[in-house]
Copies of this chain bind each other. A is one copy, B any other.
Amino acid sequence: MSDANSGRAPPKRVTIKDVAKAADVSPMTVSNVINGKHQFVSERTRKAVEREIARLNYRVQHSARSLRVARRRSVGMIFVDDAPSFLADHFNAHVVAGLCNVLSAADHTVTVQGIRADHFNQSSIIRNFAVDGFCVVLSGLPDERSAILDSLINLDQPLVLIQEPIASPNEETCIVRQDDAAGGRLLADHLAARRVDSVLVVVPSQNWPAIDQRVAGLREGFQAAGGNVRIDVVQAKTEDFDSARAAVTTYLDHHPLPDAIVGGNDRFAIAAMSILLDRGIPVPDRVKITGFNGFEQRRYARPLVTTVISSAYELGERAGEVLLTRFEKGRFPTRELVLPVYFESGETT
Seen from chain A, the residues whose Cβ lies within 8 Å of a Cβ on chain B are 38-43, 46, 73-74, 84-85, 87-88, 90, 92-94, 96-97, 100-101, 104, 109-114, 116, 119, 123-125, 128, 130, 240-241, 267, 270, 274, 277, 296-302
Contacts and interface: CB of A to CB of B under 8 A. Distances in A.
A93 B101 contact: no
Contact of A301 (B40, B41, B123, B302): B302
Contacts of A274: 299, 302
A113 B114 contact: no
Contacts of A39: 38-39, 41-43, 46
Given A84-B97, A109-B124, 20 more contacts: A38-B39, A39-B41, A39-B42, A39-B46, A40-B42, A73-B124, A74-B128, A85-B97, A87-B92, A88-B93, A88-B97, A100-B114, A112-B113, A267-B300, A274-B299, A297-B297, A298-B300, A300-B300, A301-B302, A302-B302
A111 B113 contact: yes
Contacts of A73: 124
Contact of A241 (B101, B130, B267, B296): B296
Contacts of A97: 84-85, 87-88
A112 B109 contact: no
B128 A240 contact: no
A158 to B, nearest CB: 18
A112 to B, nearest CB: 4
Of A96, A267, A300, the most chain B CB neighbours within 10 A belong to: A300
A87 B88 CA distance: 8
Nearest to A46: B39
A277 B302 contact: yes
A109 B113 contact: yes
A125 B73 CA distance: 12
A124 B74 contact: yes
B84 A100 contact: yes
A77 B154 CA distance: 28
B111 A299 contact: no
5 contacts: A38-B38, A39-B43, A110-B113, A270-B300, A301-B301
A135 to B, nearest CB: 14
Contacts of A92: 87
A119 B73 CA distance: 15
Contacts of A300: 241, 267, 270, 297-298, 300-301
Contacts of A88: 90, 93-94, 97
Residue of A88, A109, A128 with highest tally of chain B CB at under 10 A: A88
Contacts of A42: 39-40
Contacts of A85: 93-94, 96-97
B100 A96 contact: no
A34 to B, nearest CB: 15
Question: Which of A87, A96, A270, A301 has the most chain B CB within a 10 Å cutoff?
Answer: A87
A20 B242 CA distance: 59
Nearest to A44: B39
A39 B110 CA distance: 23
